[in-house]
Amino acid sequence: MIQELPKISTSLFPKSDFPNLLTAVNGQALAYLDSAASAQKPHAATEATTAFVEHQYANVHRGVHTLSQLATDAYELVRDQVKVVLNAADRNEIIFTKGCTESINLVAQSFARPLLQPGDEILLTELEHHSNIVPWQLAAEASGAKVIAARIHDNGELDLEDFKAKLNSRTKIVAFTHISNALGTILPAKEMTEMAHAFGATVLIDGAQSGPHAAIDVQEIGADFYVLSIHKMYGPTGVGVLYGKLNLLEAMPPYQGGGSMIRSVSFEETTFAELPAKFEAGTPNIAGVVGLGATLDYIAGPNWNRDSWVRRVTEIGNYEAVVREYGVSQLAEIEGLSVYGDAEEMAGIISFTLKTVHPHDLGTILDQHGVAVRAGHHCCQPLMKRLGVPATARASIAAYNDLEDMDRLASAVIAAKEIFA
């Protein structure tokens, strides 16, 4: 928790490193507060990606020619980098997908669906994004299993007692978000994983919101599966990560069939490639993965290693918490404004409503002031129902935001309030 607010004069990532942040919106300088929907991209990473595409590009894992080998090396280097980011035990535990959503669907279909029996349970929480609900419902419907959700307290914190009470011998899968994209609640991932393992359940952690904001150690947490959304981590769209424990991934059938994921194919029988190729059918998003590597280099600096990565993302998380706290203190001055989410551990999200203004109208007026927020259910309809609101406005904070962005947010909210007064 933040005890006192240090003075912040500049953002942790210079805005000038992100060309899109310099765009004028509706004649105003942009205050981009929608990084939870997707983060802006550092020029250094897009430039490195373009250089790769223009000078090193070829398909991977299939050519003896020089460019194909260079491209394969560049692509596989990023797997090693992601292994370090997550502190995975083995590089073959890192699978590239097209997003967090695909990573979860892969586990739901390849791991859960063959495992689940009628009467089995999948335990989620009320905080989950639709991507961590619907794939489990599809697997449950196909197998006669049931999806249930642990409750949250009114302040957005997980009700750990309810979570514990809902674990039982029928619980086969436990899936929860590490950080809530809608409220910012940080969940006690290690404690929850230990509780789930005590009942023999397999744990998937949705790290879409934690990836760029917190140090992650899958071995420390004990997660069986951990998924990342790269476009939310300042990286390219169309790339996701699935981490899975080696023994689990080895035992799972392929999710998709095609080129690259086979050892041999005949019309009678196909045998599959070893990990990680088994789960990377077809031509992958080569430039996207290389762009992810360049993005990680931007975040942590040249020659980064596990220690410097952990230091950097911890610094980012702490910085964003300070910006959030300042923003909340500014918004708290506005009569009729309610902030949702006040758990003990919070990341850089401010979800709020204004009594007299619908969140969509609020979002539209903020946009006229150059302030970009998301207004809606944030792909968390069950959570909105639990909070008793159809939608909220959400300001999500990244390392390129600063206190001025929070001032801009507060004054634009006041302007919206005056319009609707």
Q: Which stretch binds ligand 7TS (CB under 6 A): 141-149, 161-169, 183-191, 374-382?
A: 374-382
Q: Report how many residues bind ligand 7TS under the rule CB under 6 A.
A: 18
Stretch that binds ligand 7TS, among 94-102, 146-154, 162-170, 266-274 (CB under 6 A): 94-102
DSSP state of 263: E
Please, which residues bridge with residue 32 across strands?
372
Q: Which string of x and - marks every residue 209-238 that binds ligand 7TS (by CB under 6 A)?
A: x-------------------x---------
Residue choice 8, 29, 37, 389 for contact with ligand 7TS (CB under 6 A): 37
- Give the pairing type, strands 202-206 and 171-177: parallel
The correct pick among 378, 383, 392, 397 for binding ligand 7TS (CB under 6 A) is 378
Q: What angle do CA 132, 138, 139 make, to 5 degrees?
A: 90
Q: Which residue number, 210 or 403, has a Cβ lying nearer to ligand 7TS?
A: 210
How far apart CA 169 and CA 154 sit, in angstroms, is 28
Closest contact distance (angstroms) between CB of 169 and ligand 7TS is 28
Of 61, 79, 113, 129, the residue at the interface with ligand 7TS (CB under 6 A) is 129
Q: Which residues pair with 375 in a beta bridge?
A: 393
- Return d(Cα 303, Cα 390) in angstroms, integer: 46
Region from 39-47, 85-93, 203-211, 288-296 binding ligand 7TS, contact rule CB under 6 A: 203-211
Stretch that binds ligand 7TS, among 13-21, 97-105, 116-124, 142-150 (CB under 6 A): 97-105
Q: Shortest Cβ distance from residue 333 to ligand 7TS (Å)?
A: 26
Q: Smallest distance, Å, CB 228 to ligand 7TS?
A: 8
Residue 146: exposed, middle, or buried by beta-carbon count in 10 A (0-12, 13-18, 19+)? middle
Q: Which one of residues 21, 95, 100, 223 is an interface residue with ligand 7TS (CB under 6 A)?
A: 100
Contact in structure between 123 and 163 (CB atoms under 8 Å): yes
> What is the closest distance, in whole angstroms, from the C-beta atom of residue 19 to ligand 7TS in the complex?
21
Applying the rule CB under 6 A, the residues between 268 and 327 that interact with ligand 7TS are: none
- Cα distance between residue 215 and residue 315, in whole Å: 10
Catalytic residue, from 94, 152, 373, 379: name it.
379
Question: Would you count residue 135 as binding ligand 7TS (CB under 6 A)?
Answer: no
As measured in angstroms, the least distance from the Cβ of 305 to ligand 7TS is 26
Question: In this structure, are residues 379 and 21 in contact, taking their beta carbons and an 8 Å threshold?
Answer: no
What is the DSSP pairing of strand 202-206 with strand 225-229?
parallel
Torsion angle (degrees, nearest 10) of CA 64, 99, 360, 331: -100
The per-residue b/e assignment along 112-121, b for 16 or more CB within 10 angstroms, e otherwise, is: bbebbeeebb
Taking the least distance from each CB to ligand 7TS, the nearer of 374 and 417 is 374
Contact pick of 206, 224, 280, 325 for ligand 7TS (by CB under 6 A): 206
Burial letters 295-309, b for 16+ CB under 10 A, else e:
bbbbbbeeebeeeeb
Among 110, 132, 351, 353, binds ligand 7TS (CB under 6 A): 132
- Respond yes or no: is residue 380 known to be catalytic: no
Residue 182: burial class (beta carbons within 10 Å; 0-12, 13-18, 19+):
buried
Residues that bind ligand 7TS (CB under 6 A): 36-37, 99-101, 129, 131-132, 177, 181, 206, 208-209, 229, 240, 374, 378-379
**Active-site residues: which are they?**
379
